[in-house]
Amino acid sequence: MTPQEITARTREAERQMARLFSSERPFSAHLTKWEDPLLPDKYDFNCFFCSGQPQAEEIAAALRYQKETGAAFLKLESDAPLQNSFGLEQSVTLTMALTAPCDGWNRNPFVTFGRPTLAEAEALEVRHYGPVYGEDFTRRNIRRMFQKLNYHGAYLDGVLAGMCYTFESGGCVCLDGLLTDEACRGQGVATTLLRQLAGQSKDKLFFLHADADDTPRQMYEKLGFCTVDTLYEYLCPDLALLCPPGFSED
């Protein structure tokens, strides 16, 4: 399989996963709008996807739309960096596919596996993300995700120590949301869970996502994951603070 074929397959799997939560529609010449009506305050499934380089007038229209619909944020996504970020903060997410056998990975033999209950998953998410995003949003988010995706738990002494979710489409398995309880870190929980799921997906294209600047990316590279695609994200979490140079809302 060529790198271009791998990228095409992972992108299509990602689109299919997004469609579980969000609908898409053309917005302007270079923008497509994705919206999740049941969780409208989540950045990931309520964004504008950029095809090519959007013009200032298109970004102004997107900003007006967000304000008119009561959204507090503006997010753009693109497969290529924008020449003009319009005052939005840029981040980079990597798609990384497993290209080496996982049999030699270290694992914790005391870790057991199972699907967590919603209560277990919610408690772990709230402990980790509640202080950052607020408990209300964190609970609504995990309840929405738990309905649609396959969640996998790693247990130590019968207690949920880590988890993630997967989505399978077109011979691809996408893993995301990998999280280890703070009290259980440094015990190989995440690697053991990754090894379990990668081993179950040997005949499929197994991939995950990583922030370009975060430490987990280095761990994934050591395990044999290679970058096959890059997503450029542009975000303003508070529209009251957004005054992009180069265009006007009027």
**CATH number of the domain to which 181 belongs:** 3.40.630.30
Report which DSSP code applies to 117.
P
| 135 class by beta-carbon count within 10 Å (0-12 exposed, 13-18 middle, 19+ buried) | middle
230: left (phi over 0), alpha (psi -120 to 50) or beta: beta
Same domain, 72 and 139: no
Confidence class of residue 243 from pLDDT cuts 50, 70 and 90?
A: low
Percentage of residues of the chain with pLDDT beyond 90:
85
Helix (H) or strand (E) holding 77: strand 74-78
Asked if 68 and 33 count as a contact pair (C-beta separation under 8 A), the reply is no
Please give the average per-residue pLDDT across 44-55, as a whole number.
Answer: 96
Same domain, 74 and 147: no
Average pLDDT, the chain: 93
What is the predicted pLDDT for the residue at 246? 47
Same domain, 203 and 134: yes
Please give the torsion angle defined by the CA atoms of residues 238, 175, 8 and 99, in that order, rounded to the nearest 10 degrees. Answer: 130
User: Domain range spanning residue 79?
Assistant: 3-94+232-241
Same domain, 120 and 178: yes
Percentage of residues of the chain with pLDDT beyond 70:
96
**What is the tens place of the pLDDT at every residue in 81-138?**
999 999 899 999 999 999 888 888 889 999 999 999 999 999 999 999 999 999 999 9
Asked if 156 and 139 count as a contact pair (C-beta separation under 8 A), the reply is no
Same domain, 86 and 70: yes
Place of tokens 């990384």: 96
What is the predicted pLDDT for the residue at 214? 82
Please give the average per-residue pLDDT across 45-63, as a whole number.
Answer: 95
Please give the torsion angle defined by the CA atoms of residues 209, 98, 189 and 16, in that order, rounded to the nearest 10 degrees. Answer: 40
Same domain, 11 and 85: yes
Tally of domains within the chain: 2
Same domain, 35 and 13: yes
pTM of the model: 0.92
* 123 within some domain: yes
What span, in angstroms and rounded, lies between the C-alpha atoms of 121 and 146? 8
Neighbours of 221 (CB within 10 A): 14
Neighbours of 24 (CB within 10 A): 13
pLDDT at position 244 over 60: no
**What is the tens place of the pLDDT at every residue in 163-193?**
999 999 999 999 999 999 999 999 999 999 9
Neighbours of 185 (CB within 10 A): 12
Please give the average per-residue pLDDT across 147-157, as a whole number.
Answer: 97
